[in-house]
Amino acid sequence: MENLSIEKRYKIISDENKELKKRNQKLEEQNTQLLSIIENLSEGVMFANNKGDFIMVNSEARRVIYKSDIGINIADAFKNIEVFDIFGKQLAFKDFPSVRALRGEKSKNVRIFVRHPNKEYYAEISSTPIYNAKGDLTIIVSCFHDITETINQSRKIEEQKKELEAIIENIADSIAIFDDKGKYILVNKTSRELFHASYNSMDNISEGYDTSEFYDTYGKQLDSENIPANRVMRGEEFKNMRVIVKSPNKTLQVDINGTPIYDSNGKFSLGVLCSRDMTDYFKHEEITRSRYEFLNNMVNTFDLPVVRLTCPDFKIVDINKKGLSIVESLKPKIKSITQIKGNKIEDLFGKFKSSEYYKCISEVLKDKKIKYLNKRSLILNGNEVYFNVVFEPIFEVNSEIREIVILLIDVTPEIKSNMVMKKALKMQGEFLVNVSHELKTPLNVIFATAQLFNLYCTSGSLDDKKDSIIKYIESIKQNSYRLSKIINNIVDLSKIEAGFYKLNLSNNNIVEIVEEIVVSLTNLTDSKGLNIVFDTDCEENIIACDTEKIERIVLNLISNAIKFSDKGDEIFVCVKNKNKNKFVEISVKDNGIGIEEEHLDIIFDRFSQVDKSLSRNAEGTGIGLSLVKSIVELHGGSIYVESEFGKGSKFTVRLPKNKVLNENMLYSSNVRSRDENIQVELSDVYS
C-alpha cells in the first residue's frame, strides 16, 4: 500500500468505505428486520443493558407487563407488583430471573405468579445474560409468556381429577385400575376393604391371587387365565361375572365387570375391574329361598288344596300335592305338577270363564277383597265332597293384585254330620211321637179303669162286679208293665250313653238261661198260635255274663219275633258254640214278615223303626234293638241280622266265652224276677 499512489490508495479506501457503507446499510436493514420480528413475536421479549436499563421491550411484553409500569430500568417494572413462585412463595426482587441474569445467572422456564393492583397473571420466564468478545456482560434478554390460561386449565383438570378420585374412592362398588403390567394404579376404599387389606400402590394384580382363590358359582376353582383381572389384561370386556372369592379370613360372592382401556394407538393401557359384594344379597336370597322352600314344603304337606294364580291371565304358578290330587281326579290325563304349572285355568277347565269360580275371581279383582264360595260339591273318585272355596288376593307393593291364592277347605264331614244331625233330630221327633203314643195307650187304659172303679164305688156295685174288677186289675198290671218297659228302656239307653250302665258279671250256663226263657214263653206263643222251638249243640256252656241283661236281650229278640210273625209261624231259638269254642252264638229266627234290605242297616240305630204301617201288629218305640246291641257290646260281643222281606228274620248274638274270677253278684232290690221280666219285656205282645 505504501508504494501505491495516493489516487490509488484513495480509491481503495473509497471502495472500502463504500463496501462498509453497504454492509452497514445491510446490517441496519437486518437489525430493523430483527427488531420488527422481535416486536411482533407472540412471546414477550425485553432487552436490558448491564445496568438493567431497558434497551427494548416488545409489544407482547408491554401487553403482559403493565404498560405504564415499564420505565427506564427493570426496577421500574417491579414497583407496582408482587411476584410469587408457583408454590405461592413470594420472590424477592433480587431473585427475579431478569435480575439474576444481571448477575450472570441463567434461568429457564421459571413459572411465576404476578400480582398487580389491576391484574394478576401467571407467566413463564427465561432470562439469559449476553457477554461481549471480551467476556463482559453487556446485555440481558428475558423472554416470557402468559400461562394464566394454561395454569387455570390444569388447576381445573387437577380439581376434576381429585373430585373424580374422591367419587371413585367413596363409591359403594369396588374399583381397581391397573396398568398394562398389572400394577395397581388405583384401588378404592371398598376394594381395599374387600380384597386388598394391605394394599400398597406397588402391588401387582398377581399378588392378590397368591392369597385368594376364585371359584365359579358351581364351586369349581377358576384357572389362572379365567381370573377376572387376567381376562381384562387379555382385552376381554365382561359384565356381571359371578365369582366366589376365598381369602384366608373370608369368603365373598361378587359380581364383577371388567373393561380394558386402549390408548390412541390401540394398545392396552389400563384395566378396570368394578365389583359388587353380593355376599349379603345372596345370603338374604338364600334365606328367602329356604324360607320359601320351607313354606312351600309346608303348603305341600297341607291336607288342604292350595293353588296360586297369576293376575290377570289366571296362569297356575303353583299347586300343592293335595291340589294336584284333586286336579288329577278331575282330569285323569294330568299326572304331574309340571303339566299344570304355567297353564291357563281355562286351558285346563274349558268352561272356566262361564263358571261361578271365574265370576268370584273377577269380583276379587274388582273389589280387591277376599271372596268365598261356600259348600260347593265335587265328585271325587265317586264320592261327593263339599268344599268352602277361598279366593285370597296377594298384593304388590303398589297395591296391585299380583296373585290369587285359592284354598279349598273340605267341609264334607261338617256337612255330612249336619245331615246326620238333621236325620237324628227327625228320628228323635218321630220317637217322641211314638213314645207319647206308647205312653198314652196304657195310661188311657189305666185312667178309664180308674173311672170305672169310681163308678162302681159310687153306685155301690163293687161286690157285684168283683169278677170284672179282677180282669181290670190284670189290665192295669199289664199296662203298667208296658209303661215300665218304655221307661226302663229310655233310662237304660241314657245310662249307656252316659257310661253309667254297669254289668253284674258272673259265670253262668248260657244254654240253661236261654232254654228257661223259651220254656216260660211257650204259653204265650201257644196263645198266639206260634210254635217256639229251642235247640243247642251242648247242654252246658258257662260264660261270664249278666243274667238279667242276657234275659233282656233274648226276651227282646223273641218279643220282636212274636210281634212280626203271624199265626202258624215258627220261632226258632238256638245256642251254639262257634269259632272253635271261642264264642257262643244265640240266634232267634222267625218266618214272619222279614225286613226290607234297605232297612237292615238302620234297625239297630236309636229310635229307628221300619215304617209302622208295614209292621202290622207292632207296637214299640224303636229303642229295643239299639239297647240290645249296646248290652251285647258291653259283654264284648256283637249282633247282626239276616232277613228276607216276606220270609222272616234271623238275629244272631255272638258272646265271647270268657269267665270272671271274681263274680260280681251284687243284688239290687230293683232286680226283678224272671217272670216279672217276661211280663215287662213282652208287655207289648200280651194282648
Residues within the interface to ligand ADP (CB under 6 A): 560-561, 564, 590, 592-595, 603, 609-610, 615, 618, 620-626, 649
Distances (CA, A) of 514 to 549, 574, 625: 12, 8, 18
Compute the least distance from the CB of residue 529 to ligand ADP, in Å. Answer: 17
Compute the least distance from the CB of residue 614 to ligand ADP, in Å. Answer: 7
Beta carbon nearer to ligand ADP, 222 or 627: 627
| Residue tagged 251242648 (cell numbers) | 538
User: Distance (Å, rounded) from C-alpha 229 to C-alpha 259?
Assistant: 9
Compute the least distance from the CB of residue 507 to ligand ADP, in Å. Answer: 29
Q: Which three cell numbers stand for residue 659?
A: 269267665
Beta carbon nearer to ligand ADP, 166 or 491: 491
Beta carbon nearer to ligand ADP, 320 or 608: 608
Beta carbon nearer to ligand ADP, 393 or 624: 624
Beta carbon nearer to ligand ADP, 536 or 559: 559
Residue 84 amino acid letter: F
Query: Which residue in the shown chain puts its C-beta closest to ligand ADP?
Result: 620
Compute the least distance from the CB of residue 488 to ligand ADP, in Å. Answer: 12
Q: 321: helix, coil or strand?
A: helix
Residues sharing a CB contact under 8 Å with residue 465, sequence separation 6 or more, in sequence order: 456
Alpha-carbon torsion (394, 399, 401, 402), positive or negative: negative
Q: Which three cell numbers stand for residue 675?
A: 217272670
Q: What is the DSSP string of 208-257?
A: HHHH-EEE-TTSPBPPGGGSHHHHHHTT--EEEEEEEEEETTEEEEEEEE
Compute the least distance from the CB of residue 296 to ligand ADP, in Å. Answer: 54
Compute the least distance from the CB of residue 403 to ligand ADP, in Å. Answer: 57
Beta-ladder partners of 648: 644
Compute the least distance from the CB of residue 499 to ligand ADP, in Å. Answer: 21
Beta carbon nearer to ligand ADP, 407 or 610: 610
Beta carbon nearer to ligand ADP, 122 or 481: 481
Compute the least distance from the CB of residue 643 to ligand ADP, in Å. Answer: 7
| Residue tagged 434478554 (cell numbers) | 141
Beta carbon nearer to ligand ADP, 524 or 623: 623
Compute the least distance from the CB of residue 684 to ligand ADP, in Å. Answer: 7
H or E stretch covering 129? strand 119-131
Is residue 639 within 8 Å of 605, Cβ to Cβ?
no
What count of Cα atoms within 13 Å lies in the side-chain half-sphere of residue 388?
A: 11
Compute the least distance from the CB of residue 306 to ligand ADP, in Å. Answer: 47
Distances (CA, A) of 220 to 213, 214, 346, 467, 523: 10, 8, 45, 116, 101
Burial class (CB in 10 A: 0-12, 13-18, 19+), 479: buried
Compute the least distance from the CB of residue 568 to ligand ADP, in Å. Answer: 16
Burial class (CB in 10 A: 0-12, 13-18, 19+), 669: exposed
Burial class (CB in 10 A: 0-12, 13-18, 19+), 337: middle
User: Distance (Å, rounded) from C-alpha 311 to C-alpha 405?
Assistant: 11
Beta-ladder partners of 325: none
Compute the least distance from the CB of residue 384 to ligand ADP, in Å. Answer: 29
User: Distance (Å, rounded) from C-alpha 337 to C-alpha 318?
Assistant: 8
Q: How many residues does the chain have?
A: 687
Compute the least distance from the CB of residue 335 to ligand ADP, in Å. Answer: 49
Q: 681: helix, coil or strand?
A: helix
Compute the least distance from the CB of residue 508 to ligand ADP, in Å. Answer: 24
Beta carbon nearer to ligand ADP, 466 or 647: 647
Q: Which residues of 583-620 are buried (b: 16+ CB within 10 A; e: fewer)?
A: bbbbbbbbbbbbbeeebbebbbbbbbbbeeeebeebeb
Q: Which three cell numbers stand for residue 6?
A: 495516493
Beta carbon nearer to ligand ADP, 339 or 615: 615
φ/ψ (deg, to 5) at 315: -90, 145
Beta-ladder partners of 375: none
Q: Which residues of 241-264 are buried (b: 16+ CB within 10 A; e: fewer)?
A: bebbbeeeeeebbbbbbbebeeee
Beta carbon nearer to ligand ADP, 77 or 623: 623
Beta carbon nearer to ligand ADP, 165 or 644: 644
Residue 247 amino acid letter: S
Beta carbon nearer to ligand ADP, 208 or 620: 620
Label the pairing between strands 506-509 and 174-179. Answer: unpaired
Beta carbon nearer to ligand ADP, 306 or 558: 558
